[in-house]
């Protein structure tokens, strides 16, 4: 069984999320997300899973009035935290099974 991967184009992303083109270009130029297709911005295609990251990055830059380097660092730290939380949950589950077993 194959997984379904959803994609969204640059234009669809701008329209759907009401983001300026320049904002998405900045997000990509700081490696916060990477398009899976396209050389020019108008041709970019993103995985749908990139949309929440793009929205979060745009909101951080806007709400806190910080530069894109800081936004990139914050997104990276938040992703690391989420990964550690998932890992911790898996270890807790293993520990519970070990204790019960």
Residues 22/17/66/46 CA torsion (nearest 10 deg):
-70
**What phi and psi values does residue 8 have, to the nearest 5 degrees?**
-140, 135
Tokens of 60: 């951080």
What is the model's pLDDT at position 76?
97
Mean pLDDT for back-to-back runs of 10 residues, the chain (101 residues): 80 95 97 96 96 97 96 97 98 94 74
Residues 93/94/99/101 CA torsion (nearest 10 deg):
110
């Amino acid at each position: 069984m194959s997984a379904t991967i959803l994609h969204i184009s640059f234009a669809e992303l701008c329209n759907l999320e009401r983001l300026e083109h320049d904002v998405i270009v900045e997000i990509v130029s700081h490696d916060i997300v990477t398009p899976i297709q396209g050389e020019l911005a108008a041709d970019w295609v993103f995985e749908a899973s990139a949309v929440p990251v793009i929205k979060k990055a745009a909101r951080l830059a806007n709400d806190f009035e910080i530069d894109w380097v800081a936004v990139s660092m914050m997104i990276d730290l938040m992703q690391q935290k989420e990964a550690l939380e998932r890992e911790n949950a898996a270890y807790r589950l293993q520990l519970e099974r070990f204790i019960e077993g």
